[in-house]
Amino acid sequence: MSLAIPNGLDNTVEKPGQRAPLVLGDTTYHDITETVCQVAERPPSKSWVAGFLVAFALLQMLGLTIAYLLYTGVGVWGNRSPIFWGWPIVNFVFWVGIGHAGTLISAILFLFRQEWRTSINRAAEAMTIFAVACAGTFPGIHVGRAWLAFWLAPYPSLNLWMWPQFRSPLLWDVFAVSTYGTVSLLFWYMGMVPDLATFRDRSTNKWRRMAYGLLSLGWSGSSRHWMRYEKAYALLAAFAAPLVLSVHTIVSFDFAVSQVPGWHTTIFPPYFVAGAIFSGFAMVLTLMVPARSMLGLEKLITIRHMDNMCKIILATGSIVGLAYGTEFFIAWYGQVGEEQFAFTNRAFGPYWWAYWTMVTCNVISPQLFWFKKFRTTPWIIVVITIFVNIGMWFERFVIVCTSLSRDYLPSAWAYFSPTWVDWAMLIGSFGLFFTLFLLFCRLMPVINMSETKSTLAKQYHMAHLDDDHAAATEH
């Protein structure tokens, strides 16, 4: 009942006409269950505990700095006239961008029937939700009086007797990010229910069984349920796909509907979306490459998966590069003085170092993925994707800070310098992200078992087809 695939097989090579396997080794359905469940069932490893402690400490730092900020006021940030957006918005856009890979893998790759997504989508979706949580923190505190942030909601206020301003892109953002967070959460949770049922059925401890039993909502695997479930999954994927595009599009509107030189350019929507996918995939790879070997998931998350993701990084990185080039060209072609200045200032002004860091990391470093060697060597992937993450942070920094620091009024020009609070919050947000991610690895199924099993079933089926074909041609 199993299809023997040698463990050492290089499944990045695909003979045309014969699909390379996505599940390696002499794997059965039960093996998939075992491989995934052992991650959560065995006692935590020392490295997990160490990692969790560090992440948790950073999370405390984030909490303390936020408390300090709320107590003292937003003046403790480096935000000064005219750079009122500063790091909080840089971090916000950065994290929202990271949050794009999960739903993209789940939704768009699902719609395009890219089956290799099955073993990475769960963790990527989890990252989406955690990244959106990190992202939501920053505008939440950037409003200054965080306890009045509910004024953004269109509720009938007895105090104000007025409504939010729906013609403002910042309000669109509130709707976009919260919708995105909600739908991603539903999508993630729904995908997890059958696997939580597996956890329930395997658990020996009464409390564990009860907890997973509640979370899995009494899932029984009935084919009627499966049919509606699949339909709902496809529908959610179809809704989430344009949603992913819309979220970063609307984030880009925050910038592009203004008249600030360097922000007001029509390519922003697709360019932000490409950049978001780019950074999201980079983050997924940065985490999944070490995780797969630490959690023993090599047979399910294979080199081929990483190879494919590297290709997407290469493609989106090139789109981003093309967008940088187009912006420069049109700034020159349009012959509008302010625009030209904004772009020259980016590359050769006081922030030249940030600009060239961004170009090196975002445009040049992913070009290494043209070579298969780089796409299939885990440590190189990690190094390059970390560079990409750094580059994408700098991209947002460049957009926010260079344009704001030198706009139409030269007498107001300034240079942005972050304070220790800015630094602590940026680092602390990684603490929040990693704390949630490490907890997820311990408590939830890190790989979508049911989908991986159906991929395996298809693999069996294709093998039979090939056998039939071979038999047929012999006649």
Residues 7-46 that bind another protein (CB under 8 A): 14-19, 28-30, 33
Q: Report the site for another protein in 63-102 (rule: CB under 8 A).
A: 73
User: By the 8 A CB rule, do 78 and 419 touch?
Assistant: yes
> Which three-class secondary structure state does DSSP give residue 220?
coil
Question: Going by C-beta distance under 8 Å and a sequence separation of 6 or more, which residues neighbour residue 75?
Answer: none
Pick one of 9, 44, 61, 269: the residue that binds another protein (CB under 8 A).
Answer: 269
Closest CB to another protein among residues 5, 174: 174
Is 371 one of the binding residues for another protein (CB under 8 A)? no
Q: Please report, to the nearest 10 degrees, the dihedral formed by the alpha carbons of residues 370, 373, 379, 382 taken in order.
A: 10
x-marked contacts with another protein along 190-229 as a string, rule CB under 8 A: x---xx-xx-xxx----------xx--xxxxxxxxxxxxx
Is 165 one of the binding residues for another protein (CB under 8 A)? yes
DSSP 8-state symbol, 217: T
Question: Going by C-beta distance under 8 Å and a sequence separation of 6 or more, which residues neighbour residue 245?
Answer: 273
Is 453 one of the binding residues for another protein (CB under 8 A)? yes
User: In the complex, what is the shortest distance from the CB of residue 402 to another protein, in angstroms, rounded to a whole number?
Assistant: 17
Closest CB to another protein among residues 327, 422: 327
User: In the complex, what is the shortest distance from the CB of residue 445 to another protein, in angstroms, rounded to a whole number?
Assistant: 11
User: In the complex, what is the shortest distance from the CB of residue 148 to another protein, in angstroms, rounded to a whole number?
Assistant: 11
Q: Please count the residues of this chain forming the interface with another protein, following the rule CB under 8 A.
A: 113
User: By the 8 A CB rule, do 275 and 395 touch?
Assistant: yes
Give whole-number Cα distances, 155 to 151, 164, 350, in Å: 8, 9, 45
Q: Report the site for another protein in 409-448 (rule: CB under 8 A).
A: none
User: In the complex, what is the shortest distance from the CB of residue 56 to another protein, in angstroms, rounded to a whole number?
Assistant: 27
Q: Give the amino acid at 411.
A: S
Is 53 one of the binding residues for another protein (CB under 8 A)? no
279 closest CA partner among 240, 241, 312: 312
Q: Which stretch binds another protein (CB under 8 A): 38-46, 131-139, 155-163, 413-421?
A: 155-163
Q: Which stretch binds another protein (CB under 8 A): 60-68, 112-120, 276-284, 431-439?
A: 112-120
User: By the 8 A CB rule, do 394 and 363 touch?
Assistant: no
x-marked contacts with another protein along 284-303 as a string, rule CB under 8 A: --------------------
* Rounded distance between C-alpha atoms, residue 165 and residue 148, angstroms: 16
* Rounded distance between C-alpha atoms, residue 361 and residue 358, angstroms: 5
Is 265 one of the binding residues for another protein (CB under 8 A)? yes
Q: Which stretch binds another protein (CB under 8 A): 90-98, 277-285, 291-299, 313-321?
A: 313-321
Is 457 one of the binding residues for another protein (CB under 8 A)? yes
User: In the complex, what is the shortest distance from the CB of residue 328 to another protein, in angstroms, rounded to a whole number?
Assistant: 10
Q: Report the site for another protein in 115-154 (rule: CB under 8 A).
A: 154
* Rounded distance between C-alpha atoms, residue 46 and residue 240, angstroms: 37
Question: Going by C-beta distance under 8 Å and a sequence separation of 6 or more, which residues neighbour residue 30?
Answer: none
CB atoms within 10 A of CB 157: 13
